[in-house]
Structures are given as structure tokens and as C-alpha cells.
Amino acid sequence: MTQQTWDEVGGLLPHDEFRAASEAIVANIEQVIEGKTATVRLALAVLLAEGHLLIEDVPGVGKTKLAKALARSIDCSVRRIQFTPDLLPSDVTGVSVYNQETHDFEFRPGAVFANLVVGDEINRASPKTQSALLECMEERQVTVDGVTYQLQTPFMVIATQNPIEMEGTYPLPEAQRDRFTARIAMGYPDAGAELAMLDGHGGTDPLNELRPVSDADTVRQLIATVRQVHVADAVKQYAVDLVTATREAPDLRLGASPRATLQLLRTARAVAALEGRDYVLPDDLQVLAVPVLAHRIIPTADAQLARRTTDAIVSELVHRLPLPHDRKRSPYDTRPAPNNGRGPYEPRRP
């Protein structure tokens, strides 16, 4: 199985085509997920940032539906894994089987050999099986019996887990949690969205009627376009300062890793592109701080006794950390514009 690179796929998408393609995917998912536009857009941003998504919430709020709706909105290979205590690593990565006709071993690919892999209730599998995802999530490859197989591109793992029920579950190790770009929660829908859900989901499941509105080639072009989004030096420094603050916080015994800094910036690029910008703002990092950083950090025993959540700690750090001095001007600011007529975070244009 050969790996395709972005250079082999083609050029970047123009602004109008990028917006049309991304909005089509969001609108398609919202046929299934009612009233969760921000969550849907963040899930798409993680895909375009070449990351992986962990959906963590109570049962019945649509975690698996969101994962399956995103997968079905793109015409590409999709595999679903139901994680159970008896699931084996070979069920995930694949196994070499002896062929009596050829008198040789042949490799049978596992469920990770797909563009989008949906892992349902990932914390119900044993740590041994969970670790089967470590190599493929970080390196986009699988090694079995000393042979390395490249995975398809794009490649994304969308995993769900229930944080409430602890019986028969195994907490994800830190190495695994750190490989997820973002952790999101669905939350309960508001009254209007839940009422609309009764009309739309009462008789039939709209997920069964969902049709793809994009394909793998288009997604590759979307990702290539996101890679070109400009990030000013001041924004990069703000990202580093934000992650460094988690390592120095007295309420945390483990801060965010350098991988977190990289994924925070990649996701900010995707969010900026979805907002129609070709440059990143510090506001993008502030919005993404909790979903990208909170699941990677570990609070101290005192913080846990005080019932301080990692989300609250990260939010407090964002509130305390000063923004760069050359922050983008408010649209309501009536002061004269800078002489260059360019925002501080915008790229130099010809």
C-alpha cells in the first residue's frame, strides 16, 4: 500500500473553493447533529490540521454519530472499531497469515488501514490494544513482523469514550492522550435543537441517508491550503508562552508537551482558514487552548481535592497570560490605522 503525499495530489485551493468545500462538509454533518455548529467546525478543523480527535462525553449525546457523520461526508475509506476488553492489537493493525498455497506468510491489513478510523468506546480495550494505535497515530505507519506499511492519506482517528462509567474501562495512557490533537465534549442540546431532533430523528435515522459531499483528493487539497496559512512571529511566541505556562503552573504536575505546541498551531491554522483568513490571530489560540491542551495535563493532588478541572486551569492560564502588544485592531477602533495599512498578523502581500 503506497502513501500519497500532498505534493503528488496537486496545488492549493482558491479561497472560494476552500470555503465552498468546507461549508458543504459542515452543512452535511449538521443534517445529523443538531445545534452543535461550533463542535462540528472544530472536528473538521482537527481533520484539516492532520490530527486526531477524542470525543469525550456522557452516553446518548451523539458522540458516535458525529464521528460517523464526518466520516460519511467524505467519499473515502472508513473503518469502525468497537473497542472491547477482548479486542487484540492484531485486530487493529493487522496480522500475517500463513498461506498454504504459496507456502509463505501474507499480511492482512487491520482496521487502521483506512482514511478515517472511528474507534468507539476506546477506553474499554486493554492498554495492550490501545497501544496498537501509538505508531499509526504519530507516524502514519504500521509495523508488523518487522515490515513497515504506510497508511493512506489523509488519515484520522476519531475516538469516543464515556468519562462517567469506570467499570470495565482502562484509562488512556498519557502517551495516547497526547497523540489526540483535541478533546471535545458534545454537551446536551438546547431545547430548540432537541425539539428539532425529535422531528428529524423520530421516524428515521438521517445518518442512513447521508451522502458524501467531498472526497479524499479534495481533503488533501484543503489540508495543503491550511498548511500555507501565515503565522506571525508574535503569534508563535504566544503559543509557546501559553504551553510553557502549563509547565510552570503550581496546580499542575505535568504540563503540555512540545507536540501540544505544534498541534495547537496547526489547529489554529485550520480554524483561521475556516474563518476565511490566511493568517492566525492570538484569539484563535485562546479559543483552542482548552480543547487542545486540557486533556494532556495532569493536576496536582491538591488541585484534584479542590475539584479543579483541567479545563478550568487552562482557562485561567489563558485569562492571565497577556496578549501580544501588536494585537489585531478591533473593528470598532476609530484611531488612525498603521502606516502600512496591514494588520500585525497578516502576511506581507505583493
pLDDT tens per residue, range 96-137: 898 888 888 889 999 999 999 999 999 999 999 999 999 999
Q: Select from 3.30.70.100, 3.40.980.10, 3.30.2310.20, 3.40.50.300 the CATH code of 11-228.
A: 3.40.50.300
Rg (CA), the chain: 21
CA 31, CA 316: separation in Å to the nearest integer? Answer: 35
C-alpha of 113 from chain center: 18
Per-residue pLDDT of 293-340, as tens digits, reads 999 999 999 999 999 999 999 999 999 998 886 555 444 434 455 555
Per-residue pLDDT of 226-276, as tens digits, reads 999 999 999 999 999 999 999 999 999 999 999 999 999 999 999 999 999
What residue segments make up the domains of the chain, in order of their start? Answer: 11-228, 229-326
Q: Nearest-5° angle of CA 321, CA 294, CA 329? A: 35
304: left (phi over 0), alpha (psi -120 to 50) or beta: alpha
Architecture of domain 229-326: Orthogonal Bundle (1.10)
Residue 325: partners with Cβ closer than 8 Å, 6 or more residues away: none
Which residues sit opposite 119 in a β-bridge?
81, 159
pLDDT score recorded for residue 334? 43
Cell reading at 39: 463542535
Peptide bond into 89 cis (omega under 30): no
Q: Would you say 131 and 89 are in contact if contact means Cβ atoms under 8 Å apart?
A: yes
Q: Would you say 234 and 326 are in contact if contact means Cβ atoms under 8 Å apart?
A: yes
Strands 94-99 and 104-109, bridge-based pairing: antiparallel
Confidence of residue 182 (pLDDT cuts 50, 70, 90): very high
